[in-house]
Amino acid sequence: MTDLRFPAEFAVGEVWWEDAREPGGCGHLLAIGVVQVPDRTPVRLTVSVVAEVGVSDQLIGLWTAPAGTGNIPPRQLHRPRLRKRVTWRQGMPDSALRNDRSIWGGPGEPSYVTHGDGAVDLEFIYGLPADSVFDLNLGNIVPASFAAVAHLAPGLRDLSVYMDDNLGEDAPSVNAELTVLESLTLAGHILPEDGPERRLDDYALSVIADLPALESLSLLGGSYTEHGLQQLSRLAKLRHLHIENEGLTPSMFRFAAAMPALTELEGLDEYPDNPWTPAEVEQLQAMLPHINVC
């Protein structure tokens, strides 16, 4: 067994791994204290402060009035209620020792996780085996600690991160070290009220374009230009490209015609403030007949 060591004081997220001995063939615990997983088993890690875990009873359906009783005022109807039972809470005594499969409840009991507002310091990543995490999803983190992600480069295949302006100018260079990465999701500022974006820009895209194993890329928001998008043509293995941003036009995607592996281009009609019209999507599809534009 391999020990994954997380901070003992509070849960910095959740851990999943494949394990035939666990219900459904998948192990799932909080990232707190020592979590044991089978040797050489890929781990999925979501980083976000956990405040509470519990299970709930869901009562489905509304009470129906007996025939002949007429209409019942809405306030007298029996409405479904959600009853919750807390199984783990931040700060409870021996919170690390209580981290076992029982916190998710029994068969048929839906579980829930409530996250806190604090930022997680990624310093703990240096204590994990370098090849242990294959999927990493980062929530609210201490910006200066982002460089620790490079420690996981030997095994990391999937990364999702919000490219906050506070991450620092070295954030793109950290991504450049993830040479076996196959899937990458980067989120920047999407709405105008979020202000200008300074991290998910043309430079960031130029770094991403040098990731040799990348097969799937999602860009949500950002301040890149047509020049930045053109750099993506160097991604020889990219099969799936999802882009949501304002100011994009069909002509800006001519570069995709030179990408032999690309089969899907999507998200252009999902931007919240100014999505593409069906006519624009059809225009792009005509330009790129070998790619599924949706």
Residue 52 has pLDDT above 80, yes or no: yes
C-alpha Rg value of the chain to the nearest Å: 23
pLDDT band at 289 (very low <50, low <70, confident <90, very high): very high
Dihedral sign (CA 134, 153, 267, 193): positive
pLDDT band at 60 (very low <50, low <70, confident <90, very high): very low
Residue 70 has pLDDT above 50, yes or no: no
Measured CA to CA in angstroms, residue 31 lies from 4, 13, 73, 108 at distances of 9, 5, 48, 24
Domain 157-294 has CATH 3.40.50.620: no
Query: Residue 167 corresponds to which amino acid?
Result: L
Report the chain's mean pLDDT, rounded to a whole number. Answer: 86
Domain limits of the chain?
A: 1-58+77-118, 157-294
Instruction: Round to whole Å and give the CA distance between 25 and 126.
Output: 28
pLDDT tens readout for residues 18-42: 988 887 789 999 999 999 999 989 8
- pLDDT of res. 22: 80
State residue 11 phi and psi, 5-degree precision.
-80, 120
- pLDDT of res. 246: 83
Tokens of 12: 């910095």
Interstrand relation of 13-18 and 240-244 (parallel, antiparallel or unpaired): unpaired
Instruction: Round to whole Å and give the CA distance between 287 and 294.
Output: 13
pLDDT tens readout for residues 6-15: 999 999 999 9
More confident residue, 214 or 194: 214
Place of tokens 């750099």: 231
pLDDT tens readout for residues 144-196: 899 999 999 999 999 999 876 556 677 778 888 999 999 999 987 655 555 54
Residue 83 has pLDDT above 90, yes or no: no
- Listed in sequence order, the residues at least 6 apart from 24 whose beta carbon sits closer than 8 Å to its beta carbon are none
**Is 251 in contact with 243 (CB distance < 8 Å)?**
no
**Is 139 in contact with 163 (CB distance < 8 Å)?**
no
Tokens of 108: 């048929």
Tokens of 198: 């300074």
Instruction: Round to whole Å and give the CA distance between 225 and 254.
Output: 14
- Among candidate residues 137, 134, 179, the one with its CA nearest the CA of residue 40: 134
- Among candidate residues 242, 259, 252, the one with its CA nearest the CA of residue 160: 242
More confident residue, 142 or 74: 142
- pLDDT of res. 17: 95
pLDDT above 70 as % of the chain: 85
Is residue 70 left, alpha or beta, with left meaning phi > 0 and alpha meaning psi from -120 to 50? left
Query: Residue 150 corresponds to which amino acid?
Result: A
Q: Identify the bridge partners of residue 115 per DSSP, sorted by sequence position.
A: 50
Average pLDDT of the residues in 267-283: 80
- pLDDT of res. 65: 41
- pLDDT of res. 172: 79
pLDDT above 90 as % of the chain: 60
- pLDDT of res. 10: 93
**Is 170 in contact with 147 (CB distance < 8 Å)?**
yes
Helix, strand or coil, per DSSP, at residue 37:
strand
More confident residue, 77 or 166: 166
pLDDT tens readout for residues 163-177: 765 566 777 788 889
Dihedral sign (CA 65, 69, 70, 74): negative
Average pLDDT of the residues in 232-247: 94
Residue 264 has pLDDT above 70, yes or no: yes
**Is 246 in contact with 271 (CB distance < 8 Å)?**
yes
- pLDDT of res. 200: 85
pLDDT band at 285 (very low <50, low <70, confident <90, very high): very high
Average pLDDT of the residues in 244-256: 90
